Structure 1
């Protein structure tokens, strides 16, 4: 381009601008200005402000702000302005006497940063939901573990009741045996008494019959108790395994919850990193 009448420092930057832009690995644009207008503008593939060479420097631009404050300035332009978000930075160019003769500005696309920030926010939101669900699952697992412990206690109580019932049956069986012996003795005495002991003989038979019936009932009840004890033992084994699984589940969900919290922290770090790229 024609550079006649332009200060040699500005001319040097104009000649080197394309090389500088190629060295920037992200979507970017470069501009060189004097104190009033654009002398050079190299747009990016997407980051393109149009044909602005020769146009006055607009207010609010990083370069105009830098010329006004007389120091390096950086501004962030949101997506709504040009359709793509970018960060622009301007540095002042001074002559040998320290007088400001222009500025060098470059803009870097924040489109990737914008997407990264949105992804980080979505990721953080998702991890929060997962974390809440995991905490609920952990609480449920703890409740289940406590419930299993209560069932184990109830099972132990059932075993104790079965043992007590066994003792009672043993006592009843003892009474039945004694009654049988009593009936037998009464039958013998009734036979000795002849006709006078006939009524007593009937009583003796009834006593013997009652003793036999009681003994039979005791055997049946004992058999039922044996079956009940087997089922109680099976339930106890199942409850014990379930309680162990519940405890493992509770521990696992706590570990998952801790991992999710770390992920949420990482999402915050990603979002923070995205804001400074």
Structure 2
């Protein structure tokens, strides 16, 4: 800023009183302004919410950026936490020199950091949330993969059961043949017993029992065949259901992988938002 004398300081004050309210309206962020000479504040324009209640004519504090700018003759910036004045803001104080190079005062601007703080908190919350979702998605993906493996194992088990049932068909066929042969044998024995008349009565009873056993065996084999056929049908339905579960688990695993990738991108975006927040 140009060097000023006392008269120019007064002119500067009057100019700032006219221009700063207009400048303040153009700022997209809440700002406040202050002008001080070497001892006291001579002008203060609070922001909409950012107001540290400086009284014109009040002495400059012995500590702080304004005093440092006066003493060192250098621009001083600092971030003021909300615990001090209720709102966080960035303070920048620039010394004003007179024509002889001596410090005549300090011009200070305070820029609200409320938006930055809100954005930073949102970015942190977003990063934490996306990390949690990513972790959960990875767990779901792992579970889906395990489920797919289990379903595949069940499918293979079902196929082995079907193979075993096919072997029982051969056993049942053998039983049916034995039953048929036993029935024929019993019938022949009954005929021979009839020919033997009284001497073949005991043999006829045995032949009758053999025929009953053969009929019972044939009936049981038929019942077993029906049950096994029903088991085959149920296994076929189970196989179809398992195939559908396998397809769904694979789609679930793929979907959770996409979610995990999206969450990673979201976490990266949160980092970028945090960087932008620091620039505001």
Q: TM-score range by the shorter chain?
A: 0.7 to 0.9
What's the secondary structure of 1:103's corresponding residue?
strand
Shift of 1:220: 1.0
Q: Determine which of 70, 74, 77 is the counterpart of 1:74.
A: 77
Question: Mean alpha-carbon deviation: is it higher for 120-129 or for 38-47?
Answer: 120-129
Partner of residue 11, structure 2: 11
Distance in 2 between residues matched to 1:59 and 1:271, nearest whole Å: 35
Structure 1 residues 95, 6: CA separation in 2 closer, same or farther (over 3 Å shift)? Answer: closer
Partner of residue 130, structure 1: 133
Q: Determine which of 88, 92, 96 is the counterpart of 1:89.
A: 92
Question: Mean alpha-carbon deviation: is it higher for 10-19 or for 212-221?
Answer: 10-19
8 Å CA contact 1:70, 1:92 repeated in 2: yes
Distance in 2 between residues matched to 1:123 and 1:203, nearest whole Å: 89
How many pairs are equivalent? Answer: 274
8 Å CA contact 2:5, 2:104 repeated in 1: no
Task: Report matched runs for 1:265-276 at 5 Å.
Answer: 265-276=268-279
* Corresponding position: 1:185 with 2:188: yes
Shift of 1:89: 0.9
Distance in 2 between residues matched to 1:222 and 1:43, nearest whole Å: 95
Shift of 1:108: 0.6
Partner of residue 63, structure 1: 66
Question: Mean alpha-carbon deviation: is it higher for 15-24 or for 4-13?
Answer: 4-13
Shift of 1:104: 2.1
What's the secondary structure of 1:46's corresponding residue?
coil
Partner of residue 241, structure 1: 244
Shift of 1:168: 1.1
Structure 2, gaps ≥5 residues long: none
Distance in 2 between residues matched to 1:64 and 1:39, nearest whole Å: 15
**1:200-224, CA deviations, whole angstroms, 9 ceiling, x for partnerless residues?**
3333332222222211111111111
8 Å CA contact 2:36, 2:43 repeated in 1: yes
8 Å CA contact 2:5, 2:99 repeated in 1: no
Task: Report matched runs for 1:105-120 at 5 Å.
Answer: 105-120=108-123
* Corresponding position: 1:31 with 2:34: yes
Shift of 1:193: 4.4
8 Å CA contact 1:67, 1:103 repeated in 2: yes
Question: Mean alpha-carbon deviation: is it higher for 26-35 or for 216-225?
Answer: 26-35
Shift of 1:228: 1.5
Structure 1 residues 37, 275: CA separation in 2 closer, same or farther (over 3 Å shift)? Answer: same
What's the secondary structure of 1:233's corresponding residue?
helix
* Corresponding position: 1:256 with 2:250: no
What's the secondary structure of 1:101's corresponding residue?
strand
8 Å CA contact 1:148, 1:242 repeated in 2: yes
8 Å CA contact 2:5, 2:98 repeated in 1: no
Structure 1 residues 43, 31: CA separation in 2 closer, same or farther (over 3 Å shift)? Answer: same
Shift of 1:229: 1.3
Question: Mean alpha-carbon deviation: is it higher for 79-88 or for 60-69?
Answer: 60-69
* Corresponding position: 1:148 with 2:151: yes
Q: Normalization by structure 1: what TM-score?
A: 0.85
8 Å CA contact 1:93, 1:103 repeated in 2: yes
